[in-house]
Chain A
Amino acid sequence: MVKLTIPAPELMYSGHSACPGCAPALAMRLMLKGLGPRTIVSVPACCWTVVATPYPTTALGVAMLDNPIESTGASISGLRAAADALGLTDVHILGFAGDGGTADIGLQALSGMLERRTNAIYAMYDNEAYMNTGVQRSGATPLGAWTTTTPVGDGARGKAEPKKDVMGIVLAHRPVYAATVNPSFPEDFVRKVEKAAALRGPRFFHIFTPCPPGWRYPSDQTIEIGRKATDCGIFPLYEVEEGRYHVTRKGGSLRPVTEYFQAQGRFSHLVPEDLARVQAQVNADWQRLLRLESGT
């Protein structure tokens, strides 16, 4: 018998309104499995505003607070301050925000929360564009990706700028814990959440969440695309605890990035020279990560 490491209780109900193949839905499900029922989650304007279903229903088995798109960091500081003032010592405070609400408009509130050492978890689910509004580019959209505001034509080949390094920004604040997780690797995901849950202070998760309509791939390919992202080195899985790096999935040599890029319509306009440049960057980033692991 294989020993199951993921808790069985569900804190996200069926009947949610996510698209088929939605990785952010999986991300919330796994996050709450790791944190348990005494979690209060603050959610800004993002896909999850809608996924959680309209008034008077809710798709979550925990208390949920809505906040505007840019203020998730401040919201979880407020929730923790109230929990401390009211003697609620056993609750987890979770901010669950998209990449636009974190890397772009919510960056100030996130920085404030980290600097204040708020005892809470901030999770960014990264589907690499403003998906809830219909696939507009964000600071987390990768180089070359098609979005509705980075169209492909004679004069343009998708987004002209590289993806913002949100983990780097977060780590500059020296949080007690920060990790990358990917719903395609659920055991690694939940193990990291359970580890973070046992710590106190500011904690951060960067969650890789493929989006079938936004990335232009069939909805039954979400898990496979997530696996390719990590196995190709596009989205390595690692954690940083008190400044010490630990790469949690190595698995020998990296697969070629073409396997990841060719599976998605948003990259279909890229030519071999583009992919060769991406491959070189991924190789360099991977080596840098391994050096950080051995050096910390």
Chain B
Amino acid sequence: MTLMVMSGNSAQAYAACRARVQVIAAYPITPQTSIVEELADFVAAGTLPAQFVKVESEHSALQVCISASALGARTYTATSSQGLLLMHELLHWAAGMRTPIVMGVVNRSVAPPWSLGADHADTMSQRDTGWIQFYAESNQEVLDTVLQAYRLAEDPAIRLPVMVTEDAFFLSHTVEPVEVPDPSLVDSFLPARDARAVLVPGVPARLGSFTGPKEYVEFRREVAKAMERVPEAFHRIEQHYQSLTGRSHGGAVSHYRTGDADAVLVTMGTMTTTARTVVDEMRAEGNKVGLAKLRLFRPFPAEEFRELARRTDRIGVVDRSFTFGAAGPAATEVAAALYRSSHHPVLSSFLVGIGGREVTPNHIREMFGRLLAGKGPETRWMDLPPPAEEVAHG
């Protein structure tokens, strides 16, 4: 184990290196670039004996990974924002083809207007493509999750692609101490890919193919069933990782002081760190507040939220993007999960940090305040100048 000071982008690159990826394909986009620059350095130095295919677009980057994965190689790519949107068609291909690709995504706002700040609209708009999605709070979590993502993606019961996301600049370009596991430790955690259902030269077979409605439904159902197996598989994988490294990031939903909480905020990514300090401050002031960090967004851990609803009366879901015509994407997921719950807490949707705006302790405090005061249900854009816009719950 080596303690290094590194950015989230470095954490992505080091994780891919430790995972001994065999084929990398990437196209540059701010703020993802330093991931692939660092990987190019690893390959050039001979540290990572991988094929690095420098492609002419993100679309081709993902196609290279799909085709390489279809032949049995362990693959990695990274992108952000517009690049992820350009990949959209191929995201469906990667999942439908059951290729265990791992992709780093730096969450960045979507144009127009051009903007570079942290925003989850890029990955949220890909939530229906069949990819497993993780959102990370720290650079350590980025590195650990990428390694866990390979185990998950390549699990014979799963065989689905995984994206591990990090907030633009707050993680991608901010350095933190990160423990980098030794290669031998990672090798024992993540052996070489057990390639199944891949093309074999000389063996007549077709991967992809076309079907009528009958088999098509079966194929889609197989993807759905693989998604259903993710929570159990991930729990097992994270426990194994913890036994080797002593580190856990708390599963699909990481709880902080929610046991007796009157009000709980659900957060994703870097705003969680800010929220945690506010929870401590408000607890010290006598307010029973708690925090549920949503780490795994796809598949959505609905049962965890039904469990949370049994012990708290007020839940606020904080989203860093907005689904136009609806609400925050995580908020709609939580609402859908709670419909099948016997307990129905007050549920509010808060929009904050969009386009890279700072999420301040005051924002967090105000959201808790609104929940504790019994306001809502509501959909509220928190960081617009007063009077804050309020939208009726759809």
Contacts and interface: CB of A to CB of B under 8 A. Distances in A.
B57 A108 contact: yes
A55 B59 contact: no
B23 interface: yes
A62 B204 contact: yes
Given A65-B199, A68-B93, A109-B56, A81 B51 contact: yes
Q: Main SS of chain B's interface residues?
A: mixed
Interface stretch (A35-43, A154-162, A195-203): A35-43
A115 interface: yes
Q: Main SS of chain A's interface residues?
A: mixed
Most buried by A among B23, B89, B200, B211: B23
A50 interface: yes
A77 B62 CA distance: 11
Interface string A24-67: 00000000000001111010000001101011101011111111
Given A55-B215, A75-B63, A112-B56, A81 B210 contact: no
B65 A78 contact: yes
Interface in B191-228: 199-212, 215
B209 A55 contact: yes
Given A68-B93, A74-B63, A81 B56 contact: no
Contact of B72 (A38, A64, A82, A116): A82
Contact of A85 (B23, B205, B209, B211): B23
A63 B67 contact: no
Contact of A78 (B53, B204, B206): B53
B71 interface: yes
Contacts of B201: 38-40, 63, 83, 88, 90-91
B60 interface: yes
B208 A66 contact: yes
Contacts of B207: 63-66
A123 interface: no
Given A54-B209, A81-B25, A82-B22, A40 B64 contact: no
A64 B55 contact: no
A185 B204 CA distance: 27
Contacts of A115: 56
Interface string A94-115: 0000000000000011011001
Given A78-B66, A86-B72, A52 B60 contact: no
A84 to B, nearest CB: 6
B73 interface: yes
A63 B90 contact: no
Contact of B206 (A66, A82, A85, A91): A66
Contacts of A49: 210
A138 interface: no
B60 A82 contact: no
Contact of B199 (A40, A61, A116): A40
A128 interface: no
Most buried by B among A52, A55, A62, A109: A55
Interface residues on B, range: 35 or more
B311 interface: no
A146 B65 CA distance: 40
Given A49-B210, A78-B65, A108-B56, A85 B22 contact: yes
Given A78-B53, A81-B23, A116-B53, A63 B59 contact: no
B54 A116 contact: yes
B90 A71 contact: yes
Contacts of A70: 59
Nearest to A70: B59
Interface of B: 22-23, 25, 50-51, 53-57, 59-61, 63-73, 89-90, 93, 199-212, 215
27 contacts: A37-B202, A38-B201, A42-B67, A52-B209, A54-B211, A55-B209, A55-B210, A58-B204, A63-B203, A66-B209, A67-B63, A71-B59, A74-B60, A74-B67, A76-B67, A77-B67, A78-B25, A78-B64, A82-B51, A82-B71, A82-B73, A85-B23, A86-B22, A90-B201, A109-B57, A109-B60, A111-B56
Interface of A: 37-40, 42, 49-50, 52, 54-56, 58, 60-68, 70-71, 73-79, 81-86, 88, 90-91, 108-109, 111-112, 115-116
Given A71-B63, A112-B56, 13 more contacts: A54-B209, A64-B205, A66-B209, A68-B63, A74-B25, A74-B55, A78-B53, A82-B73, A86-B22, A88-B71, A90-B201, A109-B59, A109-B63
Of all A-B residue pairs in the complex, the 5 with the closest CB atoms, nearest first, are: A66-B208, A78-B67, A74-B60, A112-B56, A78-B64
